[in-house]
């Protein structure tokens, strides 16, 4: 497989075409952003760690029957994934209150949420990824009713598997974001990345954040937490 032209540059990764129409090349950047890109910083080593965490988590989910896009690692920061028609919806799952859920509803941080809270956001940098509900998604034609039930179902399955996995290594999965796409057969497949850039993880023993909140709140070197997450996952996956 050969790396082709840059297709899209995100906040923490680049997506390249390849010589195969069904395969894309992802490069993880040593970059972090907050406030939807308004704050940007270079964090040496983050690309490598996130690439590794992401492929471990995708491999774990695949083993448990979740269809996902990761195919192969090509270097410490680069991987091959299935090319998909992306659905422009971010699916956020919340097991405990944090971040925008706390500010929106004025509830205590880390309040348990039962049942699991699922939220959709419309993926748009220009609009700052606004909250979007089911009828808005349908009216705007971003997904069908069947697609929406698959997104909710898949997000629930992924949540249950990840909660269980992180629990095994002493980490609380507070919340996280997923993105999905469709393959040529129309099957909805889990895509994007699975790393501490997209999830809130808390050390069950110390209560410390092991995720991007450390960057958002300027409370230290994020890669320390990310490395800890990687180290613990490597013991069990
Ligand atoms: O900011 P908020 O509290 O809504 O974030 C919920 C979860 O979704 C967090 O784990 C955050 O990292 C993730 N998220 C993301 N990308 C976004 C918005 C949220 O990965 N654009």
Q: How far is the CA of 19 from the centre of ligand 1 (A)?
A: 33
What strands lie across the sheet with 78-82, from one edge to the other?
A: 3-9, 13-18, 23-28, 78-82, 70-75
Would you say 232 and 171 are in contact if contact means Cβ atoms under 8 Å apart? yes
pLDDT in tens, 65-108: 999 999 999 999 999 999 999 999 999 999 999 999 999 999 99
First to last CA, the chain: 27
Query: Is there an atom of ligand 1 within 6 Å of 209 CB?
Result: no
Query: Is there an atom of ligand 1 within 6 Å of 92 CB?
Result: yes
Distance of alpha carbon 188 from alpha carbon 147, whole angstroms: 8
Query: Is there an atom of ligand 1 within 6 Å of 203 CB?
Result: no
pLDDT in tens, 2-41: 999 999 999 999 999 999 999 999 999 999 999 888 899 9
From the CA of 211, give the closest atom in ligand 1: 12
Instruction: Check the CA dihedral 119-99-125-87 and report its sign.
Output: negative
Query: Is there an atom of ligand 1 within 6 Å of 119 CB?
Result: no
Whether the pTM exceeds 0.90: the reply is yes
ipTM: 0.98
From the CA of 100, give the closest atom in ligand 1: 3
Q: How far is the CA of 156 from the centre of ligand 1 (A)?
A: 16
Average pLDDT over residues 149-154: 98
Return the residue matching tokens 């980490």: 171
């Amino acid at each position: 497989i050969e790396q082709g032209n840059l297709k899209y540059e995100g906040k923490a990764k680049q997506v390249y075409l390849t010589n195969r129409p069904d395969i894309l090349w992802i490069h993880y950047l040593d970059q972090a952003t907050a406030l939807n890109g308004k704050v940007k910083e270079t964090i040496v080593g983050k690309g490598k760690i996130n690439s590794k965490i992401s492929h471990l988590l995708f491999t774990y989910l695949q083993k448990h029957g979740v269809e996902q896009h990761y195919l192969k690692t090509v270097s410490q920061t680069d991987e091959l994934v299935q090319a998909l028609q992306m659905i422009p919806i971010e699916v956020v799952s919340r097991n405990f209150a944090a971040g925008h859920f706390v500010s929106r509803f004025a509830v205590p941080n880390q309040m348990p949420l039962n049942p699991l809270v699922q939220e959709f956001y419309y993926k748009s940098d220009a609009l700052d990824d606004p909250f979007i509900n089911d009828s808005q998604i349908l009216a705007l034609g971003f997904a069908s009713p069947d697609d929406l039930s698959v997104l909710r179902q898949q997000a629930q399955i992924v949540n249950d598997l990840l909660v269980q996995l992180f629990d095994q290594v002493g980490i609380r999965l507070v919340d996280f974001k997923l993105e999905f796409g469709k393959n040529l057969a129309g099957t909805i497949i889990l895509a994007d990345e699975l790393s501490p850039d997209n999830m809130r993880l808390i050390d069950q023993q110390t209560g410390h954040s092991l995720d991007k909140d450390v960057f958002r709140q300027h409370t230290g070197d994020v890669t320390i937490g990310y490395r800890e997450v990687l180290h613990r996952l490597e013991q069990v996956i």
